[in-house]
Structure 1
Amino acid sequence: MRIEDAEALRRGQQMGWDDVMADAISFRRELHQHPELPWEEEQTAARIRSRLDALGIEWRACAGTGTVAKLAKDAPGRHVGLRADIDALPINEASGRDYSSTHDGCMHACGHDGHSAALMSTATWLKANEDKLPGPVTLLFQPAEEGGHGAKKMIEDGALEGLDAIFGWHNWPAIAFGKAVCPDGAVMAGNGTFRITLQGAGGHASQPENTRDPVLAASAVTMALQQIIARRITPQNAAVVSVTSIEAPSGETVIPDSAKLAGSIRIADPSDRARIDQMITEIATAQAAAYGVKADVEIFPRYDATINHGDQAGEMRAAIAADLGADWQFDQLPLPIMASEDFSYYLKELPGAFALIGADDGQGHHEPCHSPRYDFNDRLLPIVTRIYARLAGAPLPDNSTAQQT
């Protein structure tokens, strides 16, 4: 951080809303240029902690590269937690932006740089109004959301101690800018992955009768697994089973000894997980046996569904409506979406809510998360800062500029 930037943050009491927002955009783009993979977010954590120090906000390291910061810790009211994720993805950036990643093979392709910048601008605004907060506020800058179970590690390291409620959000390019979703119940699905190793007996391609062909068995297993949702799970239950890779490297005239399948599971109802896991094992084993091949099935549960609590979801909807207006709800997105979030860990521990806030403003922010062409919409930063400030009970600026989105 530049010396003048640190000095500006130290003058947080004097920073106007527009200054806070300009700084948020600058910080977001700084993070975007320096992405780090899950559990490797050392420099990202250092940048976050340096700004918290400049603001005079108390913090502690949590789960290694995570950071937990507190404001108004002695205030008598409800203790609210606000969360951002900080990790990036192993993707080569192709957005063409002048603030593109400087790290080959690593990119903020899911907007966690924007989530972190929004929480930092919230920190700046709350610090400037700390004496007006009705209760304590904990800010969670969480590592390793992208498959690393960072939320679980944060909880194990005491990140939720003393909290009464927690709130989070994710930018969503499939939703129009100015719209959002925050339902009671499930907003995002649970997920899991599986690997199936098919062990046969290879041989010459001209004599398949003398082999036990794992490639043929892999094809049969793939086709059968794709029928789970169509024929074994009721259509009313949102679920997905996708075989995403088949590996059986060999020569053109050689039937290999083994083949490997891998895939993804998505569930909206947690009670479907065990049933689907069992069906994958049973179907793979039976199909393989029909071809004289042995199947070894490994299933890896990842995240549970992100399920909002009704009271807190209603509170978050009110905060969103106060900013986006009465027509803010996006009704063209079937819920829950089948992507997953480790914010689910927090919602299993205490009341809270999670929202998806639209990013597509017709100005190039339609690229989906995890695309190499993705770009976070900086116009979301003031919106989310105001939503978070409302949830924390902080006053908001009353000038018209601050209300523009």
Structure 2
Amino acid sequence: MHHLLEEARALMPRMTAWRRTIHAHPELGRTERETQRLVMEALSDLGLRPRACADTGVVCDIRGAGDGPFVALRADMDALPLTEATGLPFASAVPGVMHACGHDMHTAMLLGAAALLVRRADKLKGGVRLLFQPDEEGDGGAQRMIDEGALDGVSRVFGCHVAPESATGRVAVCAGRAYAASNPFDITVMGRGAHGAEPHLGRDAVVAASAIVMELQSLVSRELDPLEPAVITIGRMEAGTARNILADGATLQGILRSFGAERRRQLTQRIESVASMTAEIHGCEAHTRIHWGYAGVINDENETRFVRKCAVELLGRDMVGDDPPTLTTEDFGAFLESVPGSFWHLGVGRGGLCHPLHSPLFDPDEEAMPVGAAMHALIAMSALEERRGEGV
């Protein structure tokens, strides 16, 4: 067994206590006060000097003996607006809020990595910056941390996410395009109301909105290269006041997920034009508001090979694999737009018995936490021992 993994296993009682405390007291984005307090107290107990960032986040430096660059490690801390149904003894004590995406484990594992790295601070050829990010699920806490200088002096950045579909302790990475960019959008359709017996006197916003929904689907199927993944989802439609009255207005809420800046620009422009033209065909008007959501997670090829190398060193080749790209989204992409790095996955699948992310029954295998802590520490130590791109 690798010595780092052995030491991380000895930290299991502490990591379990951190994780279960955070799990039992989940906090939504921008409200992570108690989680922030726990993290800062744990880091202070290690002799470190954490500081608040982005209001409810935490930044903490572990300085080595030399004047080398900083490598950043990130964990997110916020929970989801979900009612837990696991029945665990440490289940959420907060009605309607749950850690169903593993951020409690992410935080505990990075605290474990901090304990491992503090023991080796005098051997670090540079520094390690720990980023405990707020509001990953909401409005993009990563960018707020960056705006407050969280990446100043950082040359490389790494992060991980638990993967319930993967075997416990298995590490997987995806080079290049890993997570999609997202653009939520709202379309307001304006028609003219009329009695259902006299439809010729009105302009039916429901018919126009329905046509917009159908036309938007053809953007992906007929205007994109079939090898360019993208998806447009209309998840909500509201219209009308009575069964026998033509609606004078309708609203659509949807989201675009895509890879690549050019495709993103193309599709956002076309969503607006298709909505406007389709509404006009039906005698209505449409106004579209497109929000610029998360950036895609584009893993640096060299850094991804480096992460894979670290995983093989720690676990052996049989416990390391490759992940396909996904059209889900992740706020880590904002960090990767600023400095090179890679985002990897850690299996918590409990032999295939773990429910998926964002499920009220999500119960990841805590036995993966020593692997996560040791991986964080090994990545940071190894990254400081080499110039970017060499030896990977």
TM-score by length of 1: 0.89
1:103 aligned residue: 94
Q: Deviations over 1:196-240 (max 9, x none)?
A: 000111122222222111111111111111111111111111111
Alignment of 1:106-121 (within 5 A): 106-121=97-112
Alignment of 1:342-381 (within 5 A): 342-362=331-351, 364-365=353-354, 367-381=355-369
Deviation at 1:337, TM superposition (A): 0.5
1:11 aligned residue: none
TM-score by length of 2: 0.92
Report the residue type matching 1:387 in the other structure: M
1:94 aligned residue: 85
Distance 1:175 1:270 in 2: 30
- Answering whether residue 55 of structure 2 is matched by residue 64 of structure 1, we say yes
- Answering whether residue 136 of structure 2 is matched by residue 136 of structure 1, we say no
Distance 2:238 2:71 in 1: 48
| Matched-pair contact (CA < 8 Å) for 2:65–2:122 | no
1:221 aligned residue: 212
SS of 2:154 mapped into structure 1:
coil
Change in Cα spacing, 1:160 to 1:22, as seen in structure 2 (3 Å) is same
Report the residue type matching 1:121 in the other structure: G
2:26 aligned residue: 35
Residue segments in structure 1 that go unaligned for 5+ positions in a row = 1-14, 395-405
Deviates more, 1:238-247 or 1:89-98: 89-98
Distance 1:44 1:349 in 2: 26
Deviation at 1:143, TM superposition (A): 0.5
Deviation at 1:65, TM superposition (A): 0.7
Distance 2:9 2:235 in 1: 46
Distance 2:237 2:31 in 1: 30
Change in Cα spacing, 1:203 to 1:238, as seen in structure 2 (3 Å) is same
Distance 1:376 1:179 in 2: 13
Correspondence for 1:162 among 143, 147, 153: 153
Report the residue type matching 2:356 in the other structure: P
1:319 aligned residue: 310
| Matched-pair contact (CA < 8 Å) for 1:39–1:148 | no
- Answering whether residue 265 of structure 2 is matched by residue 277 of structure 1, we say no
Distance 2:160 2:224 in 1: 30
Correspondence for 1:190 among 177, 181, 186: 181
Deviates more, 1:151-160 or 1:94-103: 94-103
| Matched-pair contact (CA < 8 Å) for 2:52–2:59 | yes
Deviates more, 1:250-259 or 1:106-115: 250-259
Change in Cα spacing, 1:293 to 1:329, as seen in structure 2 (3 Å) is farther
Residue segments in structure 2 that go unaligned for 5+ positions in a row = 1-5, 383-392
Change in Cα spacing, 1:115 to 1:249, as seen in structure 2 (3 Å) is farther
Deviates more, 1:335-344 or 1:317-326: 317-326
Deviation at 1:163, TM superposition (A): 1.2
Q: How many equivalent pairs are there? A: 377
| Matched-pair contact (CA < 8 Å) for 2:160–2:343 | yes
- Answering whether residue 282 of structure 2 is matched by residue 291 of structure 1, we say yes
- Answering whether residue 16 of structure 2 is matched by residue 22 of structure 1, we say no
Change in Cα spacing, 1:234 to 1:280, as seen in structure 2 (3 Å) is same
Report the residue type matching 1:104 in the other structure: P
2:172 aligned residue: 181
Distance 1:376 1:249 in 2: 43
Distance 1:180 1:314 in 2: 13
Correspondence for 2:138 among 144, 147, 150: 147
Deviation at 1:330, TM superposition (A): 4.1
Distance 1:179 1:376 in 2: 13
Distance 2:131 2:312 in 1: 24
Distance 1:352 1:261 in 2: 37
Change in Cα spacing, 1:18 to 1:327, as seen in structure 2 (3 Å) is closer
Deviation at 1:17, TM superposition (A): 4.2
Report the residue type matching 1:348 in the other structure: E
SS of 2:325 mapped into structure 1:
coil
Correspondence for 1:340 among 306, 329, 332: 329
| Matched-pair contact (CA < 8 Å) for 2:77–2:103 | yes
Distance 2:121 2:12 in 1: 18
Deviation at 1:249, TM superposition (A): 4.1
Distance 1:16 1:393 in 2: 15
Deviation at 1:320, TM superposition (A): 1.6
| Matched-pair contact (CA < 8 Å) for 1:57–1:71 | yes
Alignment of 1:235-250 (within 5 A): 235-250=226-241
